Amino acid sequence: MSQSLNYPFPEPPAEGATLEVAPGIHWLRLPLPFALDHINVWLLEDGDGWTLVDTGLGTDQTREHWQAVAGLVLDGQPVRRIVVTHYHPDHIGQAAWLAETHDAVVHLTDGEMAHARRVHGMADEEAGARLAELFAHHGLDTDRANALRQRGNTYRRLVPRIPDRHVTLGDGDTLAIGDRHWRVVVGRGHSPEHACLYSESGDQPVLIAGDQVLPKISSNVSVRPEAEHEDPLGEFLASLERLGALRSGTRVLPSHGGVFEGLPERCAALMHHHEAHLERLLGVLSQPGTAADMLPVLFRKGLDNHQIMFAMGESVAHLRHLEVRGLVERDGDEPVRFRRVD
């Protein structure tokens, strides 16, 4: 689907430097040691201090990065608040350390905090087993399921500590930060209760989108082992519809990729992307198939063990959504196969 997004800042800020992307809002990029090699975090002028939005992975590398840039980018002013959009490691990783270092308060939704605590607290055996069992149940072969089982609790390796306390954010809440008012807009499907921040203060509306809307890639949408009854893709599509209805001139600040304009077009393109995946699945499900059988239908290239985890999650989420829509039904239960309802 064609979409023309406008990128007002063609180049990201240089390493260790910030770029002001709207009055009082500064873009800082932190490294990630993955194929997705960066996360964008946002520094908001907040009176005589700062509010940070997202924090990077809880690794030594990211901490050293913060230490190196703190003097430069924070200009000697204290950090007062840390807003965490959602529980994923690249967003919450340094929140506990930054809060302690700056005596700042962490803000996030209760849904994200509860999930962070639950995942962080799982023993290696339990964390590995839950994912392996879910995916084996959906047809993943024993070798690849065992490889996932042996990964253990990868979350805790990237998030050594969860903040002890937090202030709760909820959908519709408003935050006054510096001269701006921000409304919390909760999105779902990528994570349980993801907070986006939307401001109409100033000449141009601004959306801090987290991972809920990204300009170049689609956010991972996975069924979680403890929530097989849910419909994360349905929730994600509903969230895109809601975000796509915000003002069309909005400047969007995503966690990955560049700052862009064209929010309604991007939301529509992402919805179209998922609808096309659903169509493709329906096209082959005249014969019953498992989520594992559907990997080559949804993903064209070979997948390593790390990618398998995301790909299986996506495949199950798409099949589950077709089931919720009444377009497929289960056919056999170990492994689970789905068949198109004709």
Binding site for Zn ion (CB under 5 A): 88, 211
CB of 181 to Zn ion, least distance (A): 25
CB burial of 37-68 (b: ≥16 within 10 Å; e: otherwise) equals: ebbbbbbbbbeebbbbbbbbbbbeebbebbee
CB of 138 to Zn ion, least distance (A): 22
**Strand order across the beta sheet in which 167-169 lies:** 19-22, 25-31, 38-46, 49-53, 79-83, 105-109, 167-169
Between 24 and 93, CB nearer to Zn ion: 93
Rounded to a whole number of angstroms, the minimum distance from the CB of residue 241 to Zn ion is 20
Contact 220, 190 (CB under 8 A): yes
Q: CB of 214: closest distance to Zn ion in angstroms?
A: 10
DSSP-assigned beta bridge partners for residue 40 = 29
- Minimum distance from residue 52 beta carbon to Zn ion (Å): 17
Q: Pick the closer one to Zn ion by CB: 112 or 231.
A: 112
Number of neighbouring beta carbons within 10 Å of residue 323: 16
Specify whether the CB–CB gap between 169 and 83 falls below 8 A: yes
Phi (first) and psi of residue 131, to 5 degrees:
-70, -45
Rank residues 299 and 310 by Cβ distance to Zn ion and give the closer one: 310
Nearest distance, CB of residue 211 and Zn ion, angstroms? 4
CA distances from 277 to 260, 290, 291, 299 (A): 25, 15, 13, 10
Helices 232-244 and 305-324, packing angle to 10 deg: 80
- Phi then psi for residue 68, to 5 deg, are -70, -35
The tokens 């230490």 sit on which residue? Answer: 67
Q: Is 207 exposed, middle or buried (0-12, 13-18, 19+ CB in 10 A)?
A: buried
CB 57 within 8 A of CB 89: yes
Q: How far is the CB of 90 from Zn ion (least distance, A)?
A: 7
